[in-house]
Amino acid sequence: MPKTTLKDIADKAGVSSSTASLVLSNKGKISEEVKQKVIAIADELGYPRRTQVSTASQGNIAVLFHFDSKLAHTWHVLRQVTLQLEQTLASSNYVLILIPITYEMTDDQIFQRVMALKATAVFSMHFGREVLFSRLEDASIPVVVIINSHFQSQFYTVCADNFQGSYEAASHLVKLGHKRIIYADFNIHELPETLIDRFFGFSKALNEHNIPFTEDQKVRLDVYDPVDIKEKLGKLLTSKNKPTAIFFVDDYLAARCYPVLQELGFRVPEDLSIIASGEVLDYNEPFIPRITGMLTNSSLLGKFSAEMMIDRLEHKPRESYVLKIKQQLVERGSCKSIG
């Protein structure tokens, strides 16, 4: 006789597999009527139920936290998001557990870590793996992706509104009188949609004000190579139509370019205005240059992500899979009006 599966129970009870899983593991806020029905069917079919967990906790929710050295500059933001996740989840009696990962790990390695810790659900911050997420969802472990819009059509996602943020950043430069603007980006690891959205937002602002922009005004830099930065920016900044501003895709790239601009003889903002579309740096640190940019509220990222997950676990589906948080302009003195 075939072994009874969770899906068999869910189908007979008329509920989803995730709901059946929550009932049989004593997690989530499921109605007593549904609980009793699922349990009765499980017993009838001879399905082994898990040991009851303490009612003091709804269960463990894991967060996949990458520890790749090239992404260390993002930890300031991810730490703030994690703290808010923990606080919001605790109010509903869920416990947040951290699973350190690297991009070199296989899907199966990460999946086994999640299963070994008996995680009820998983948050993935920045990190993205379609096959892994699908496998977790198939195992009735819901996933919410944070700060990565690449999978927004497939999985529940909370991220910044990068398109609108870039549009407003570029508009800020235009309002200050800038018409010759360089667009500088770099290969942001694992976030292709971020680059696309930020460039389209920038382009929309310039198009609306009839400001010409050609392909030679867009430059991709090697963020870890000062020689590459100096060569490419130096060529653009000494061209016939010398630019008055640089739009950086984020403040990490802007900060890496800042000393190179000084070495080239350009003062910020006296000779050149700079603005960043995204923020990942900790401006409480005195050695970080003051760069005007678009800030995403990290606490809101954590709060909304946690609430989205709680709704999923407690069978309160949302109308939308995606929630985008509006960025706010923070003026730090790196932009100058040129009249």
Min mean pLDDT across 21-25, 74-78, 182-186 is at 21-25
Q: Is residue 231 part of a domain?
A: yes
Q: Is residue 278 part of a domain?
A: yes
Q: Do 219 and 147 fall into the same domain?
A: no
**If 0-12 CB within 10 Å is exposed, 13-18 middle and 19+ buried, where does residue 70 land?**
exposed
| Cβ neighbours of residue 68 closer than 8 Å, sequence gap 6 or more | 102, 103, 189
**pLDDT higher than 80, residue 193:** yes
Q: What is the pLDDT of residue 53?
A: 40
Domain that residue 82 falls in: 59-160+297-325
Mean residue pLDDT across the chain: 89
- Contact in structure between 321 and 35 (CB atoms under 8 Å): no
Q: Do 98 and 166 fall into the same domain?
A: no
Q: Determine which helix (DSSP H) or strand (DSSP E) holds 260, and give its type and residue range.
A: helix 251-263
Cα–Cα nearest to 326, from 143, 195, 152, 169: 169
Q: Tell me how far apart the alpha carbons of residues 274 and 334 are, in angstroms, rounded to a whole number.
A: 6
Q: Do 85 and 117 fall into the same domain?
A: yes
Sign (positive/negative) of CA torsion 335, 257, 159, 285? negative
Min mean pLDDT across 44-58, 81-95, 200-214 is at 44-58
Q: Do 199 and 284 fall into the same domain?
A: yes
Give the chain's count of helices (H) and strands (E). 11, 12
Q: Do 229 and 272 fall into the same domain?
A: yes
Number of domains forming the structure of the chain: 3
Cα–Cα nearest to 281, from 67, 127, 76, 82: 76
Question: Which domain CATH number covers 171?
Answer: 3.40.50.2300
Q: Determine which helix (DSSP H) or strand (DSSP E) holds 89, and give its type and residue range.
A: helix 75-90
Q: Do 17 and 118 fall into the same domain?
A: no
Min mean pLDDT across 18-22, 24-28, 102-106, 335-339 is at 24-28
Mean pLDDT of 229-256: 94
Q: Is residue 54 part of a domain?
A: no
Min mean pLDDT across 27-31, 82-86, 279-283 is at 27-31
Residue 201 φ/ψ, nearest 5 degrees: -65, -45
Q: Do 175 and 250 fall into the same domain?
A: yes
Q: Is residue 331 part of a domain?
A: no
Q: Is residue 95 part of a domain?
A: yes
Q: Do 14 and 86 fall into the same domain?
A: no
Q: Do 307 and 222 fall into the same domain?
A: no
Q: Do 116 and 169 fall into the same domain?
A: no
| pTM metric for this prediction | 0.81
Q: Do 222 and 166 fall into the same domain?
A: yes
Q: Is residue 218 part of a domain?
A: yes
16-41, pLDDT tens digit by residue? 776 777 777 665 557 778 888 888 88
- Contact in structure between 247 and 170 (CB atoms under 8 Å): yes
